[in-house]
Structure 1
Amino acid sequence: MSDARELAGKTVLVTGASSGLGRHFALMLARKGARVAAAARRTSLLEDLAREADALGCTIVPVAMDVASVDAIKAGVAEVEAALGPIHILVNNAGIAVQAKALSTTEAEFDRVFSTNVRGAFFVAQVCGQRMIERGIAGRVVNIASVAGLVPMPQLGVYGMSKAAVVQMTRALAIEWARHGISVNAICPGYVATDLNAAFFGSEAGQKITAALPKRRIAQPHDLDGTLLLLASPEAGAVINGAIISVDDGYMHS
């Protein structure tokens, strides 16, 4: 995106914004001029994020939302609209991972991953998409999938299955909503360093994974900024639709 001011006046909902990529995306988009609603279950962390944004002269409104509950999604979206106006951009980021081999994955773990990563992502998109269509908004939906949804990754079988579903959901919604001017795309990150996995990548096992990557490095959250801004932009985002973009330093081709 050539001009960061293009997001001025836009309302953005970022799910899973209490930590990790979601938190980073929320603050980055707010600093680009958007009015950001940061949604998650852990509202105390969202309030900390809102205070940080305020100190920078940005707008972030914390919104309680458990994406595993459709009622909570609807209530959260209504709260966003009441506080910031209609949603123009959805960053559908909320997700969880279970690292386990297939034979040791429990039923509870499987259900928890799919409830958040698939069911939650779908109904957040559905609720926001319906509001965009009703209001005639040529919106942008950016689903945060994973390279694990495109190629197998060690001990991430169930997580990868859930993200493969997000990839297919992206393609389906892109076709269904194109006539309304809504673009639906997905970003598929590879290994990205966050506060949640810092200890692992500092360990011997994590260092082995890093050494095996094509560029021998773990990506940083800001490495995804350009792709997200491109897909969220009013101009480029209008003609990019149904794209599944790997941001993985070449991992899936190694």
Structure 2
Amino acid sequence: MPIVLDFSGKLVLVTGGGRSIGLAIARAIAKAGADVAITYTSQDATPVADKLSKEFGTVCKAFKCEVSDSREVNTMLAAVKESYGREVDIGIANAGITLWKDAHENTDDEFRRIFEVNTFGSYYLARALARSWLGEDIPVGSSTTGRPEAQQLGKQILFVSSISAIVAMTPQRQTAYNASKAAVTMMAKSLAAEWAHLGITVNSISPGYVATDMIANPPNEEAKAWVGEWTKRTPVGRFATAEQIGEFVATLVSDSQGGMGWMTGSDVVIDGGYTLL
């Protein structure tokens, strides 16, 4: 019997969903019938959302949001809820940045920025979602008191981490990125344990090398040489496509196949065997 993904009636939020892996995720989920909200930082993703809507007959909208600013994340989520008239069902924290630079050359601002986007941004989204699902409107900087009572909210959060959370990637130097993604992976596990009694499942995926624009068009000659080395170090001998990651995520979060309705606290590695050796 074929696997059929059906996200009809679901609202899925994908940060950084206007390009690359985020767009592939948004596309795969919209194709399966979900309404999708995507966020962007600088380049307006409204044309991308409009194209998804027309192609798949679902409601896809774009929202500007700097994920490193918790106030913007809170405002964006409120705007999504108002625009669609309902709560998000699945939140996918995908937005992220990288930095190829020797650790001793990182400035304070550079190191901080990597964590602000990759780690803090993922946390801000997860926190905002949980508060919204619990019906709480809490000002930034304040906290709740006491543990929420057990509920069965039936909500999901997925963090897009990286195998850089597991192994120190080489020959590029990216200590800040590796550390930020390691924090994301552990944060997913910690939140999964903390929120399981609420009916919120939290998981992460750790992709290996994906054929994104950065790999197709390396920024310098040194990086061009790295691309060949990365291929050699991946046992299957090739990179994943963004579309493969998108389809994988859609299958993983699908209720129709069990998916994350029961699985929580897991980090799913999809890397062509890179971390085997």
TM range (shorter): over 0.9
**Residue deviations 1:131-163 (CA, integer Å, cap 9, x gap):** 223396311101000000011102121101000
Which of the pair has more CA radius of gyration? 2
Trace 1:166-185 onto structure 2 (pairs within 5 A). 166-185=184-203
C-alpha contact 1:91 1:143 (8 A) present in aligned 2: yes
Please identify, of 112-121 and 35-44, the stretch whose mean Cα deviation from structure 2 is larger. 35-44
Give the number of the structure with larger relative contact order, counting CA–CA contacts within 8 Å between residues 6 or more apart. Answer: 2
Which residue matches 1:59?
59
CA shift at 1:222, angstroms?
A: 2.1
Identity %: 28
Determine which of 214, 232, 236 is the counterpart of 1:211: 232
CA shift at 1:109, angstroms?
A: 1.1
CA shift at 1:55, angstroms?
A: 2.8
Residue identity matched to 2:129: C
SS for the counterpart of 1:134 is coil
C-alpha contact 2:231 2:239 (8 A) present in aligned 1: yes
CA shift at 1:244, angstroms?
A: 0.6
CA distance in 2, matches of 1:2, 1:134: 35
Residue identity matched to 1:79: A
Segments of structure 1 that go 5 or more residues without pairing to the other structure are none
TM-score (norm 1): 0.93
CA shift at 1:225, angstroms?
A: 3.3
SS for the counterpart of 1:225 is helix
SS for the counterpart of 2:104 is helix
1:118 equivalent to 2:119? Answer: yes
CA distance in 2, matches of 1:31, 1:231: 15
- Decide whether aligned partners of structure 1 residues 91 and 180 sit closer, same or farther in structure 2, where only a CA change above 3 A counts: same
Which residue matches 1:199?
217
Segments of structure 2 that go 5 or more residues without pairing to the other structure are 137-151
**Residue deviations 1:155-181 (CA, integer Å, cap 9, x gap):** 121101000000110011001110111
Determine which of 136, 139, 146 is the counterpart of 2:155: 139
TM-score (norm 2): 0.86
C-alpha contact 1:113 1:162 (8 A) present in aligned 2: yes
C-alpha contact 1:43 1:63 (8 A) present in aligned 2: no
Which residue matches 2:144?
none
Please identify, of 224-233 and 19-28, the stretch whose mean Cα deviation from structure 2 is larger. 224-233
CA distance in 2, matches of 1:107, 1:31: 42
CA distance in 2, matches of 1:177, 1:43: 34
- Decide whether aligned partners of structure 1 residues 120 and 150 sit closer, same or farther in structure 2, where only a CA change above 3 A counts: same
CA distance in 2, matches of 1:39, 1:23: 10
CA shift at 1:48, angstroms?
A: 1.8
CA shift at 1:119, angstroms?
A: 0.9
CA shift at 1:226, angstroms?
A: 4.4
CA distance in 2, matches of 1:195, 1:95: 14
C-alpha contact 1:43 1:62 (8 A) present in aligned 2: no
